[in-house]
Amino acid sequence: MNISIFGLGYVGCVSLGCLAKNGHYVVGVDVSQTKVNQINSGKATIIEKDIAQIISEQKQAANIEATTNAKEAVLKTEISIICVGTPSSDKGHLNLEFIFKVAEDIALALKEKDDFHVIAIRSTIFPGTCDKVAQLIEKESGKKRNINFAIVDNPEFLREGTAVNDYFNPPLTLIGSDNKSAANKVAELYKKLPSEIIITDLQVAEIMKYVNNSYHALKISFGNEIGNICSELGIDSHKVMEIFCKDKQLNISPYYFKPGFAYGGSCLPKDLKGLQTLAHDMYVEVPVISSIDKTNEIQIQRAIKMIHQYGNKKLGFLGLSFKEGTDDLRNSPAVSIIEALIGKGCSICIYDKNINISLLTGTNKEYIDSKIPHLSSLMLDDAKKAIDTSDVIIINTREKEFIPLLKNCGDKIIIDMVRLDDSLLENSNYTGINW
């Protein structure tokens, strides 16, 4: 394919060389005449393992060229890949001025182009940017989105220092678009790479780099805080984290990564508090670890707010324990929200097949007696009865038995804390806590 690449920095130079190595003809565009001259004399614009040789070979094979003339590049190619910088603004937002400038340049070229053109954004952008770029191109070129051109988001995941290897072995190739044929065309560019190609919604792709990089920063900071605590205690933190990483079921795994309700139960809150206090006693600052329970509390407050907007209606809770399959009520977030809503005067009924109040003992009983002493008067022994007598149904545990009942509950409002089943998404009265 014939491709133009806008921006010949780290991402652009690597993409230019590697796409050419994979058999494409690539025209690089940059505002810097120096970078354009470097490419045209077979030199890389950056220092990065293997890229100098790739650029030299691809120049010799006449597979690459560079120019400062955007129009010329767009007119001789079918896809333009935008790799310009998106630095932080003073207020912490991404500064997208270079993206919009390139969009204008592409629009001016499209005025003179009859063939369909695909624009893929490889730079890191925030959700909504592709739509803005498309609007700008429509306005400047007079051409129509998805008739004359299409926008695709195709975020780059390479890391400097290992960029060429990362290009040829990415964790995945992500393509977001509202245009299937444009998405497939961009997917074609990467068909020689070994990784999975995922085609998804535009905005899902747009937010992905933020999610990834924030999580990577969180991993580093969490590891460092654990290291700081361990080192104060004379424990080898590397041995600790090596073992931590060996747990592929709970630690290094998709487990716990589904957005939903707050955590609870007897272990997570208690042990987190224990670690925070240990660090505090040794004067070790652990802001990441110390903010985890605050985030959890915010999630509980979010749920209370969502439910309390229907405060004058009858509220029916399906599930009370901190997760399905247990009668442990200790630190169950559902108990906290019910306690708060009772305090606000709401009318409540509860169904949980695992809770038999007469069988609750020990700290479990003490906990619930201190929070909702009249719990037995709120409990129903039948899920259908709880649904039938309520106007708003709150799902707290992932019990499959609720699904058919909720599908046939008419126009009752459903608030789901656990994403019980995707088929419920079809119901117009259904809301998830964070989806």
Ligand X SMILES: NC(=O)c1ccc[n+]([C@@H]2O[C@H](COP(=O)([O-])OP(=O)(O)OC[C@H]3O[C@@H](n4cnc5c(N)ncnc54)[C@H](O)[C@@H]3O)[C@@H](O)[C@H]2O)c1
Residues with a catalytic annotation lie at 267
Binding segment toward ligand X, per CB under 6 A, in 27-35, 302-310, 375-383, 407-415: 27-35
Question: Does the footprint of ligand X cover residue 395 (CB under 6 A)?
Answer: no
Question: Does the footprint of ligand X cover residue 7 (CB under 6 A)?
Answer: yes
- Report the b/e string of 391-420 with b at 16+ CB within 10 A: ebbbbbbbbeebeebbeebeebbbbbbbbb
Question: Does the footprint of ligand X cover residue 160 (CB under 6 A)?
Answer: yes
Q: Which is nearer to ligand X, 156 or 352 (CB)?
A: 156
Q: Cβ 204 to ligand X, closest distance in Å?
A: 17
Let me know how long the chain is: 435
Q: Which is nearer to ligand X, 8 or 20 (CB)?
A: 8
Near ligand X by CB under 6 A: residue from 3, 4, 5, 6:
6
How many whole angstroms separate alpha carbon 198 and alpha carbon 183?
Answer: 10
Near ligand X by CB under 6 A: residue from 24, 30, 304, 412:
30
Question: Does the footprint of ligand X cover residue 12 (CB under 6 A)?
Answer: yes
Q: Which is nearer to ligand X, 101 or 365 (CB)?
A: 101
Q: Which is nearer to ligand X, 115 or 160 (CB)?
A: 160
Q: Cβ 307 to ligand X, closest distance in Å?
A: 40
Question: Does the footprint of ligand X cover residue 35 (CB under 6 A)?
Answer: yes
CA 287 → CA 158, 263, 290, distances in Å? Answer: 29, 19, 5
**133, 151 in Cβ contact below 8 A?**
yes
Sequence-separated (6 or more) residues with CB below 8 Å from residue 214: none
Q: Cβ 102 to ligand X, closest distance in Å?
A: 5
Sequence-separated (6 or more) residues with CB below 8 Å from residue 79: 1, 2, 3, 4, 117, 118, 119, 120, 185, 186, 189
Annotate 267-281 with DSSP letters as a single string.
THHHHHHHHHHHHHH
Q: Which two tokens stand for residue 130?
A: 């592709």
Binding segment toward ligand X, per CB under 6 A, in 95-103, 276-284, 303-311, 328-336: 95-103
Find the binding residues for ligand X in span 60-89 (CB under 6 A): 83-86
How many whole angstroms separate alpha carbon 273 and alpha carbon 266?
Answer: 12
Q: Which amino acid would we find at residue 251?
A: N
H/E stretch holding 390: none
Which of left, alpha, beta for 349 (phi over 0: left; psi -120 to 50: alpha)?
beta
Question: Does the footprint of ligand X cover residue 167 (CB under 6 A)?
Answer: no
Q: Which is nearer to ligand X, 38 or 397 (CB)?
A: 38
Q: Which two tokens stand for residue 101?
A: 């400038």
How many whole angstroms separate alpha carbon 238 and alpha carbon 223?
Answer: 9
Question: Does the footprint of ligand X cover residue 367 (CB under 6 A)?
Answer: no
Binding segment toward ligand X, per CB under 6 A, in 23-31, 49-57, 185-193, 299-307: 23-31
Give the binding-site size for ligand X (rule: CB under 6 A).
Answer: 25
CA 31 → CA 51, 68, 95, 177, 362, distances in Å? Answer: 21, 6, 17, 28, 72
Q: Cβ 43 to ligand X, closest distance in Å?
A: 14
Q: Which amino acid would we find at residue 269?
A: P
Find the binding residues for ligand X in span 210-249 (CB under 6 A): none
Letters for 127-156 (x = contact with ligand X by CB under 6 A, - = none) are -----------------------------x
Near ligand X by CB under 6 A: residue from 36, 54, 98, 399:
98
Q: How far apart are the first and last CA of the chain?
A: 39
Question: Does the footprint of ligand X cover residue 9 (CB under 6 A)?
Answer: yes
Residue at shortest CB range from ligand X: 9
Question: Does the footprint of ligand X cover residue 206 (CB under 6 A)?
Answer: no
Q: Which is nearer to ligand X, 156 or 416 (CB)?
A: 156
Residue numbers at the binding site for ligand X (CB under 6 A): 6-12, 29-32, 35, 83-86, 98, 101-102, 123-124, 156, 158-160
